């Protein structure tokens, strides 16, 4: 009996070829997109690049990715960036790589079919038995043709809001899958929000999109659009064939003062100083006036006591009136301060101005009904609002005329007369300017709306 | 990772179409208007799957085999296309895999697979060169995963000494024929 048992055990031990004790472990998922490399419009010497997105789930350990073209003799046409062996970094769910196809000049005109294998080498080295390595296959289908093929697709059309008077820019992303260069053109219809046609523009200088290239080309046009929102209907053509028509929304925003841009830091600094001076010009003038007044008083007092006898200068009353330098300084500084206070008080009491700049938000959107009552120029003052918004004051009652002053939100002006929707006003420097009524609301108007 | 939207690129059911966006605005009087984008978006194929990490053939004696094929490997489609797969294996299994400098190895051809639990002799011989298998895992269209199963087995040739043998097989997901999605 014992002998039988021993023989049996020996037989089992000697006969074990494969012994697996580990449980089956499920792999994480892996995927790739796109799943094909297809180009049937190639010519000798052509090249193109496709980007692939590799994704995974579950275990996010660092693994190696191997990309291997299985294309026989033309496998050398393929290059992989960053390389045929890549690292999928730990913790990362997505990685990208590129495969470029470079067709030699000597390539034969025919169809080429093959595949590219992407293999994820497992990191679980402790798994016993037959480890499963996951792979993904990319179908590859290339064709070299003598025929000239135009195949341009427009993948996106975009525009950005513009400042009134600036060129309107249209960005068009085009993908040329043909084997000849393409020069698309565009037609742009500008419409108001009621879809009434306002302007039409042809853009013919968009540029060239080379074969197998995806590129964003930009066209632009000048328009006379007022502030507001508009529809742009952009249609892109290649050889009179419409490729894509898109309707966009364009916002034309208010004018801003032109700020000179330069690479010279010192000029930038100068601009800042000028800007500071401009914003606080009134206060700076008051300070200068106060200083000048103080200096004048100083020298007047000095001259007054210059020829007086020393005994008289030493009297307390004389000292108080500036016979000594220290008291002269105090007196002149005090006088300058009084000048500043006087100017400041005068500015506060200047209450005869009749208009207040208040932004009318309805005017920014076409189609909105404006119920503002046009005010007569006999008003009282509204409190000024502390904002950075500025409004243009024109040299003539014409929005195409030059802007001679940037009025602040809440700034007030004397109205000299009104004419066809424009107010003739007196500017702080004494000159005359014109303000369109759509930038103005009087206090009366504000109350009427309440 | 699940991705159900139908692809519209080449070699798909809808390669002549694109995905379009429709926006409908409705006011409080239930009056509305809808508009559709003039040009759509090409949605690329995503070939994706998950699969078991290993095949355990169990304990076998010399001359024994998994007969009929009794080890299963489940493939789950997680992309937006139907799947087939390719099978290939390292040239040999050995006790010191992957260096294979020790005991006599087991050549890859002793592993066989099938689409059901067929007899070992009827199974397809595993090779170093990838061979496509018509697994026909349907495209995922709901939250319920679609799967395909392959059955595996091995035969232990004579001259193999006792020990634990390891190896590696590569299972490659391939975009299936459209008719089988």
- All CATH 2.60.40.10 domain ranges of chain A, comma separated, are 28-144, 152-253
Q: Is the pLDDT of residue B143 over 90?
A: no
pLDDT band of A443, cuts 50, 70, 90: very low
* Inter-chain touch A31–B1, beta carbons under 8 Å: yes
- Predicted local distance difference test score (pLDDT) of residue B142: 87
Report the C-alpha gap between A436 and A392 in whole angstroms: 9
Report the C-alpha gap between A52 and B146 in whole angstroms: 25
- Predicted local distance difference test score (pLDDT) of residue A435: 85
CA B8 to chain CA centroid, Å, is 22
The secondary element (H helix, E strand) that includes residue A279 is helix A265-279
Pairing label, strands A47-56, A94-102 = antiparallel
> Closest Cα of chain B to A156: distance in Å?
9
The secondary element (H helix, E strand) that includes residue A265 is helix A265-279
> Closest Cα of chain B to A30: distance in Å?
5
Is B35 among the domain residues?
no
Distances A238 to A59, A145, A155, A211, A371 between C-alpha atoms, Å? 49, 21, 14, 14, 47
pLDDT band of B136, cuts 50, 70, 90: very high
Is B137 among the domain residues?
yes
Residues of B in contact with A58 (CB under 8 A): 50
Q: Omega into A260 within 30° of 0, i.e. cis?
A: no
Helix spans in A307-400 (H): 310-314, 316-320, 325-348
- Predicted local distance difference test score (pLDDT) of residue A283: 73
Q: Name residue A424's beta-bridge partners.
A: A417, A434
A32-70 in b/e form (b: 16+ CB < 10 A) is bbbbbbbbebbbeebebebebebbbbeeeeebebbbbbe
Does the pTM surpass 0.80? The reply is no
> Which of A18, A65, A131, A231 would you mutate first to test chain B, the one with the most B CBs within 10 A?
A18
* Inter-chain touch A27–B130, beta carbons under 8 Å: no
The secondary element (H helix, E strand) that includes residue A277 is helix A265-279
Q: Name residue A432's beta-bridge partners.
A: A426
> Which of A30, A70, A92, A130 would you mutate first to test chain B, the one with the most B CBs within 10 A?
A130
CATH top class, domain A152-253: mainly beta
For A31, the closest of B73, B79, B89 (CB atoms) is: B79
Report the C-alpha gap between B177 and B181 in whole angstroms: 7
pLDDT band of A227, cuts 50, 70, 90: very high
pLDDT tens digits along B154-166: 999 999 999 999 9
Q: Any idea what DSSP says for residue A409?
A: T
Q: Which residues contact A17 (CB under 8 A, 6 or more apart)?
A: B60, B61, B62, B64, B106, B156, B160, B162, B163, B165
| Fold of the A28-144 domain | Immunoglobulin-like (2.60.40)
- Predicted local distance difference test score (pLDDT) of residue A351: 38
Average pLDDT of chain B? 92
* Inter-chain touch A17–B89, beta carbons under 8 Å: no
Report the C-alpha gap between A201 and A259 in whole angstroms: 29
Written as one string, the DSSP assignment of A68-97 is EEE-GGGGGGEEEES-SEEEE-TT-SEEEE
Q: Does B16 touch chain A (CB under 8 A)?
A: no
Residues of B in contact with A128 (CB under 8 A): 54, 164, 166
For B61, the closest of A16, A131, A132 (CB atoms) is: A16
- Predicted local distance difference test score (pLDDT) of residue A18: 47
Average pLDDT of chain A? 77
* Inter-chain touch B111–A139, beta carbons under 8 Å: no
For B62, the closest of A15, A35, A246 (CB atoms) is: A15
HSE of A438 in the Cβ direction (CA atoms, 13 Å)? 14
> Closest Cα of chain A to B9: distance in Å?
8
Residue A244 near residue A235 (C-beta atoms within 8 A): yes
Helix spans in A280-436 (H): 281-306, 310-314, 316-320, 325-348
The three-class DSSP label of residue A14 is helix
The secondary element (H helix, E strand) that includes residue A270 is helix A265-279
Q: Name residue A88's beta-bridge partners.
A: A63
* Inter-chain touch A26–B52, beta carbons under 8 Å: yes
Report the C-alpha gap between A433 and A405 in whole angstroms: 8
Conformational region of residue A37, where left means phi above 0, alpha means psi within -120 to 50, and beta covers everything else: beta
pLDDT tens digits along A351-407: 333 333 433 333 333 323 333 333 333 332 333 334 456 778 888 888 777 788 888
Distances A343 to A14, A287, A383, B76, B171 between C-alpha atoms, Å? 113, 10, 20, 85, 89
Backbone angles phi, psi at A413, to 5 degrees: -140, 150
* Inter-chain touch A18–B49, beta carbons under 8 Å: no
pLDDT tens digits along A16-47: 444 443 344 556 789 999 999 999 999 999 99
Distances A370 to A19, A242, A373, B48 between C-alpha atoms, Å? 87, 40, 9, 58
Q: Does B30 touch chain A (CB under 8 A)?
A: no
- Predicted local distance difference test score (pLDDT) of residue A265: 44
Minimum mean pLDDT range among A119-123, A270-274, A375-379, A418-422: A375-379
Report the C-alpha gap between A242 and A416 in whole angstroms: 56
* Inter-chain touch B58–A20, beta carbons under 8 Å: yes
Q: How many domains does chain B have?
A: 1
CATH number, residue B75: 2.60.40
- Predicted local distance difference test score (pLDDT) of residue A125: 57
List the 79-138 stretch of B: residues with Cβ below 8 A of A: 79, 81, 86, 89, 93, 106, 111, 130
Q: Any idea what DSSP says for residue A26?
A: B
Q: Is the pLDDT of residue A448 over 60?
A: no
- Predicted local distance difference test score (pLDDT) of residue A444: 40
Helix spans in A157-263 (H): none
Q: Which residues contact A334 (CB under 8 A, 6 or more apart)?
A: none
Pick the more confident residue, A164 or A409.
A164
Residue A135 near residue A88 (C-beta atoms within 8 A): no
The three-class DSSP label of residue A6 is helix
Report the C-alpha gap between A423 and B101 in whole angstroms: 99
Residues of A in contact with B51 (CB under 8 A): 26-27, 132, 134
Report the C-alpha gap between B49 and A364 in whole angstroms: 53
Residue A287 near residue A340 (C-beta atoms within 8 A): yes
- Range(s) of the domain holding residue B173: 49-180
CA B67 to chain CA centroid, Å, is 23
Distance in Å from the first CA to the final CA of chain A: 112
Distance in Å from the first CA to the final CA of chain B: 19
- Predicted local distance difference test score (pLDDT) of residue A312: 80
Backbone angles phi, psi at B118, to 5 degrees: -80, 170
- Predicted local distance difference test score (pLDDT) of residue A210: 92
CA A189 to chain CA centroid, Å, is 24
Q: Omega into A34 within 30° of 0, i.e. cis?
A: yes
CATH code of the domain made up of A355-449: 2.30.30.40
The secondary element (H helix, E strand) that includes residue A186 is strand A185-191
Minimum mean pLDDT range among A216-225, A363-372, B74-83: A363-372
Other CB atoms within 10 Å distance of the CB of residue A343: 16
Q: Is the pLDDT of residue A65 over 90?
A: yes
* Inter-chain touch A18–B172, beta carbons under 8 Å: no
HSE of A410 in the Cβ direction (CA atoms, 13 Å)? 8
Residue A41 near residue A180 (C-beta atoms within 8 A): no
Pick the more confident residue, A375 or A191.
A191
Report the C-alpha gap between B119 and B112 in whole angstroms: 10
Is B108 among the domain residues?
yes
Q: Nearest chain B residue to A154 by CA: give it.
A: B39
Minimum mean pLDDT range among A62-76, A256-270, A358-372, A426-440: A358-372
pLDDT band of A285, cuts 50, 70, 90: confident
Backbone angles phi, psi at B41, to 5 degrees: -115, 135
> Which of B3, B36, B50, B58 would you mutate first to test chain A, the one with the most A CBs within 10 A?
B50
Residues of A in contact with B154 (CB under 8 A): 18
Residue A95 near residue A60 (C-beta atoms within 8 A): no
> Closest Cα of chain B to A378: distance in Å?
43
Nearest partner of A297 among A239, A349, A336, A247, judged by Cα: A336
- Predicted local distance difference test score (pLDDT) of residue A375: 35
pLDDT band of A79, cuts 50, 70, 90: very high
For B86, the closest of A19, A58, A137 (CB atoms) is: A137
């Amino acid at each position: 009996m014992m002998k039988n048992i021993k023989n049996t055990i020996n037989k089992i031990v000697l006969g074990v070829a494969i012994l697996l004790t580990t449980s089956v472990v499920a792999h994480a998922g892996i995927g790739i997109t796109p799943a094909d490399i297809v180009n049937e419009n190639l010519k000798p010497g052509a090249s193109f690049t496709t980007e692939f997105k590799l994704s995974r789930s579950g275990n996010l350990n660092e693994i190696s990715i191997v990309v291997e073209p299985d294309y026989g003799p033309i496998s050398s046409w393929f290059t992989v960036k960053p390389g045929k062996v890549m690292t999928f970094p730990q913790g990362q769910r997505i990685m990208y790589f590129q495969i470029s196809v470079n067709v030699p000049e000597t390539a034969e005109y025919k169809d080429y079919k093959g595949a590219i294998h992407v293999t994820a080498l497992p990191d679980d080295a402790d798994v016993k038995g037959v480890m499963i390595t996951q792979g993904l296959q990319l179908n590859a289908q290339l064709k070299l043709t003598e025929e000239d093929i135009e195949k341009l697709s427009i993948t996106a059309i975009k525009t950005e809001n513009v400042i009134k008077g600036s060129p309107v820019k249209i960005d068009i992303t085009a993908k040329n899958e043909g084997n000849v260069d393409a020069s698309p053109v565009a037609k742009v219809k500008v419409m108001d929000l009621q879809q009434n046609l306002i302007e039409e523009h042809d853009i013919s200088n968009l540029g060239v999109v080379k074969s197998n290239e995806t590129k964003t080309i930009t066209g632009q046009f000048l328009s006379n659009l007022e502030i507001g929102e508009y529809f742009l209907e952009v249609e892109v053509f290649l050889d009179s064939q419409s490729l894509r028509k898109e309707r966009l929304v364009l916002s034309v925003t208010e004018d801003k003062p032109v700020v000179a841009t330069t690479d010279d830091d010192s000029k930038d600094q100068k601009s800042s100083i000028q800007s500071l001076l401009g914003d606080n010009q009134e206060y700076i003038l008051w300070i200068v006036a106060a200083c000048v007044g103080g200096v004048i008083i100083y020298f007047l007092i000095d001259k007054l006591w210059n020829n007086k006898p020393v005994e008289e200068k030493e009297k307390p009353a004389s000292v108080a009136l500036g016979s000594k330098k220290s008291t002269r300084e105090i007196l002149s500084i005090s006088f300058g301060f009084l000048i500043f206070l006087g100017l400041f008080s005068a500015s506060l009491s200047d209450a005869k101005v009749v208009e207040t700049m208040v932004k009318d938000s309805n005017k920014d959107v076409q189609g909105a009904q404006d119920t503002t009552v046009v005010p007569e120029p006999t008003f009282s003052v509204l409190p000024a609002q502390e904002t950075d918004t500025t409004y243009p004051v024109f040299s003539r009652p014409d929005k195409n005329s030059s802007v001679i002053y940037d009025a602040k939100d809440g700034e007030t002006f004397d109205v000299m007369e009104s004419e066809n929707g424009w107010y003739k006003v007196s500017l702080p420097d004494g000159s005359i300017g014109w303000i369109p009524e759509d930038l103005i609301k009087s206090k009366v108007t504000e109350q009427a709306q309440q | 990772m699940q991705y159900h939207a139908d692809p519209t690129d080449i070699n798909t059911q809808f390669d002549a179409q694109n995905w379009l966006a429709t926006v409908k605005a409705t006011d409080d009087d239930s009056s509305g208007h809808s508009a559709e984008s003039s040009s759509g978006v090409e949605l690329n194929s995503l070939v994706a799957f998950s699969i078991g990490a290993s095949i355990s053939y169990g304990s076998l004696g010399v001359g024994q085999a998994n007969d009929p094929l009794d080890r299963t490997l489940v493939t789950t489609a997680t992309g937006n296309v139907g799947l087939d797969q390719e099978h290939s294996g390292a040239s040999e299994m050995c006790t010191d895999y992957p260096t294979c400098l020790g005991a006599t190895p087991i050549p890859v051809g002793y592993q066989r697979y099938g689409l059901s639990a067929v007899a070992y002799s009827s199974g397809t011989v595993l090779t170093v060169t990838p061979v496509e298998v018509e697994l026909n895992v349907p495209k995922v269209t709901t939250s319920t995963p679609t799967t395909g199963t392959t059955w595996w087995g091995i035969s232990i040739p004579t001259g193999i000494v006792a020990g634990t043998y390891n190896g590696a097989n590569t299972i490659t997901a391939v975009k299936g024929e459209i008719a089988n999605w």
